[in-house]
Amino acid sequence: MDKKELFDALDDFSQQLLMTLADVEAIKKNLKSLVEENTALRLENSKLRERLGEVEADTPVKAKHVRESVRRIYKDGFHVCNDFYGQRREQDEECMFCDELLYRE
């Protein structure tokens, strides 16, 4: 290998290194963006989980209150089922539709 070939080979190698360096810089920039997005999403996820916990803690109390109100209406002699809602139960007979609604899990 003469000096010109050696110089050309080193020049090509240098160009390849510069291209590789540019690729590495682009990957670093992309990685930085992904890390920032991941951090923001983790924070948002944490806040949403906290909010969900608050909502779930409040929900059973409200549901229990509503269920008790419906039971009271039924005990007062009225239908609470979709088919006969608001109609008076004759002689306080049981209604299987109302029972299903009141005692479902």
Q: For position 26, what pLDDT does the model report? A: 98
Average pLDDT on 5-26 reads 96
Q: For residue 75, what are the domain limits?
A: 3-103
Domain count, the chain: 1
pLDDT greater at residue 102 or residue 24: 24
Is 79 annotated to bind a ligand? Reply is: yes
pLDDT digits (tens, 9 = 90+) for 26-39: 999 999 999 999 99
Is 22 annotated to bind a ligand? Reply is: no
Q: For position 9, what pLDDT does the model report? A: 94
User: How far apart are the C-alpha atoms of 74 and 60, rounded to whole Å?
Assistant: 21
pLDDT digits (tens, 9 = 90+) for 45-99: 999 999 888 877 776 666 677 888 888 988 888 999 888 888 888 887 888 899 8
Is 81 annotated to bind a ligand? Reply is: yes
Is 82 annotated to bind a ligand? Reply is: no
Average pLDDT on 12-28 reads 97
Q: How much is the pTM?
A: 0.48
* Cα-based distances in Å from 28 to 17, 18, 25, 41, 76: 16, 15, 5, 20, 71
